[in-house]
Structure 1
């Protein structure tokens, strides 16, 4: 189980544990899942990530 203690236990914000677990179920590594879930800890950050993804997909069409 992921921890919000930090250090050797790793760190994922408690509010983002659900996102972390979903990423792990999808096969992401622990470090990758933590990096992604911690990146979007606020609604504004998640919205910015979504816009960036949209722009990337649009450009690759």
Structure 2
């Protein structure tokens, strides 16, 4: 279950719970999924993730 409690229970912003669950379904650890989903709360974070994904795709499609 996703937690908005914080501390030992972990923390994921409520607006990002769907993203967190999707990452967990892909097999990511709780901490890694929380870190990625929390990064996308602000638009600047989502933009940064998009740029990183584009670089990764570009690198693998040489």
TM-score bracket, shorter-length normalisation: 0.7 to 0.9
4+ residue stretches of structure 1 with deviation over 4 A?
none
State the Cα RMSD in Å: 1.3
- The Cα shift of 1:45 comes to 1.7
Residue 37 of structure 1 aligns with which residue? 37
Aligned length: 61
Segments of structure 1 that go 5 or more residues without pairing to the other structure are: none
Distance in 1, Cα, partners of 2:7 & 2:46: 25
Q: TM-score, normalised by structure 1?
A: 0.85
For 1:13-50, what per-residue CA distance to the aligned partner results, in whole angstroms no more than 9, with x for missing partners?
Answer: 11000000000111111011001101111233212210
- TM-score normalized by structure 2? 0.84
